[in-house]
Chains A and B, each alone.
Chain A
């Protein structure tokens, strides 16, 4: 009898909540039409001033915001470090789901942009005249922000892949710099045989690495046309990579140190890990976080399958403007300044970043740099050269953040058990197809 009161309370609460739920649905579902402004609005917004919030975890953000506020004293940019990559995306997605709490401008890596674009959370910046900026950026990064003619952001950095190798270790064991994957596998065998504690590289299965390697091998496993998605992780490129990498996985030639762990940093410093196939932003990380290996590392082009120079983009990202922004013109103006104004890019370069802007990539000053860390090698020549050899036509899934989150469950199992990567890719594909269909996409295999 007493519980009646309680039940009534519970029921009332429930109905209030149901109301809340439908409100939430409205808030997140009611996407307005894309950015209504024009290029002129940008200048006007900067003149008028205001306050915007900017989420970023990059080391250059603070100095860039300071420089911007100095140039435009009427604008107040609130910089928030909402977490590093996926941590930030979780918070961003939460804010979008909740219908409030998102920043005006956010840093998002290239692989995640389609996901936010698809959920209608980002402002199409084309009407602000951002399409005219295309020439300023190298092709790979630009294709990541330009989705079906809608421009969802501007590239900040890029990560054309190269091979970073520990020259000291290579010299010690008389290993020549591999130019093909056959040579790379041979080098792996030779090194590990000479010193069983040393490995050619570490790889415990990393979705970003795998997708980039498939990209380099000429694969196009993901294509998306609106909500029509095609997934084929057994296309020629995917297979080519898996077959070649299988030799390392099945031969136990890869260090099982997870990337970015404390152990990993240590292994980069003491020669346990002899090469890294990764993006051109890596020198900044090595210099600041593996100082003990100064003078050991060098840079070479990526190994290839048939000798034709080809690479891919790995990592890197840009900034986007969110639809929740109450001052989209000002946010867009800030974004434009952030990723095209020479002053901002100068700050970015000083922080050790690798640019996406062609002018900076081709500037003689940039190319001529010979960092002491790399024994005086002109590493930027190698890296900029790489940026020109990125195949076009690559797409990420419109739910790549989710896809990456289940990578370890699927492809990672092949790594763990030392079995065929192709099986792992197949499992990954199956789960991605299921998920896509459940979420209302039309997924073809």
Chain B
């Protein structure tokens, strides 16, 4: 939602306060306040208290935040999702971009088929995706086992600690590559035809067209897709949590910040500390998303 133009309707009645808009926005905002803002506020309240299994609850001020900043488990999980983000997001977005450009190029046989086939995984629930890949990764009767048999050695070890992040990255890439492709493709589709005609008159080749026309036109979509992917990476939960049953020692209870928060709450009853993790992660995510948006927009202005 980087570059929504808030100024666009400025020409309309600026003189007096126009409350009619709230008639439309109101219902959304009421539900939004109730189911999203209220829990956030409640979570902030929770971070200021500490409840113990023995001895009840007490106000502790910012102590939970102080604890969190010295908590190696939190930093480790944050580092892990950052690493994940830095590697997985570019790979996924580049693959999506390639697919979108290829489909848009009209040089494919059966474009429609490719478009829908690559998009299909998005329709698979994350839980089901993790389940399917969990089976496939299995060394005994999954595909991995068959490939290893073929190669005659245990080359693929999706559940070893060296591989696990890549294994999860693969699932996430699989799930969202088509989705991002579609966002890019949609942006490519609306490039005005006269731009291409002008390029052709200038004698520009395919690659010149891509770098000169298509990529600049995609910049906005790329910023959006990046922001959504960053949020998604920082909130990584379903895939590692479901794979934990298959790789218990490799995927720790604090593998990602979100898993850490979940286990603090539901295994450890540390609701207050868990809420602190959530709030801090929310702030970090918002700041990074904001910076990406800012940088993305600035480049556009240039």
* B249 x A205 contact (CB < 8 A): yes
Contact of B139 among A29, A263, A412 (CB under 8 A): A263
Which A residues are in CB contact (< 8 Å) with B248?
204-205, 258, 408, 412
Which A residues are in CB contact (< 8 Å) with B246?
258, 261
Number of A-B pairs whose CB atoms are under 8 Å? 101
Which B residues are in CB contact (< 8 Å) with A409?
252-254
Residue of B nearest to A13 (CB): B38
Rounded to whole Å, the gap between the CB of B270 and the closest CB of chain A is 8
Rounded to whole Å, the gap between the CB of B200 and the closest CB of chain A is 50
B156 at the interface (CB under 8 A from A): no
Q: Tell me the complex Cα distance, A227–B141, Å.
A: 48
Residue of A nearest to B254 (CB): A409
Ordered by A's residue number, 9 sampled pairs between the chains whose C-beta atoms are within 8 Å are: A13-B33, A21-B45, A227-B54, A262-B141, A399-B53, A401-B267, A402-B267, A409-B252, A439-B54
Contact of A439 among B46, B53, B141 (CB under 8 A): B53
Most-contacted residue by chain B among A14, A227, A435 (CB, 10 A) = A14
Rounded to whole Å, the gap between the CB of A130 and the closest CB of chain B is 26
Which A residues are in CB contact (< 8 Å) with B37?
10, 13
B268 at the interface (CB under 8 A from A): yes
Which A residues are in CB contact (< 8 Å) with B102?
none
B138 at the interface (CB under 8 A from A): yes
* A441 x B33 contact (CB < 8 A): no
Q: Mark A406-421, 1 if CB is under 8 A from B, else 0.
A: 1011001101100000
Q: Which residues of A contact B (CB under 8 A)?
A: 9-10, 13-14, 17-18, 20-21, 25, 29, 90, 93-94, 97, 118-119, 204-205, 227, 257-258, 260-263, 266-267, 272, 398-399, 401-402, 405-406, 408-409, 412-413, 415-416, 435, 438-441
B247 at the interface (CB under 8 A from A): yes
Q: Tell me the complex Cα distance, A262–B270, Å.
A: 33
Interface size on B, residues (CB 8 A): 39
B122 at the interface (CB under 8 A from A): no
Residue of A nearest to B145 (CB): A263
Q: Tell me the complex Cα distance, A205–B266, Å.
A: 21
Which A residues are in CB contact (< 8 Å) with B270?
438
* B268 x A402 contact (CB < 8 A): yes
Which B residues are in CB contact (< 8 Å) with A263?
138-141
Contact of B52 among A97, A398, A440 (CB under 8 A): A440
With A17-B45, A118-B53, A262-B140 given, can you name 20 additional A-B contacts, CB distance below 8 Å? Answer: A10-B37, A13-B38, A14-B45, A17-B38, A18-B45, A25-B51, A25-B56, A205-B248, A257-B140, A401-B267, A402-B267, A402-B269, A405-B267, A408-B249, A408-B252, A412-B249, A416-B249, A435-B268, A439-B269, A440-B54
Which A residues are in CB contact (< 8 Å) with B138?
261-263
Most-contacted residue by chain B among A17, A93, A97, A118 (CB, 10 A) = A17
Which A residues are in CB contact (< 8 Å) with B38?
13, 17
B55 at the interface (CB under 8 A from A): yes
Residue of A nearest to B271 (CB): A97
Which B residues are in CB contact (< 8 Å) with A272?
140
B84 at the interface (CB under 8 A from A): no
Rounded to whole Å, the gap between the CB of A101 and the closest CB of chain B is 15
Residue of A nearest to B42 (CB): A17
Q: Which of B141-196 contact A (CB under 8 A)?
A: 141, 161
B65 at the interface (CB under 8 A from A): no
Which B residues are in CB contact (< 8 Å) with A441?
53-54
Which A residues are in CB contact (< 8 Å) with B249?
204-205, 408, 412-413, 415-416
Contact of A119 among B49, B53, B141, B244 (CB under 8 A): B53
B135 at the interface (CB under 8 A from A): yes
Which A residues are in CB contact (< 8 Å) with B45?
14, 17-18, 21
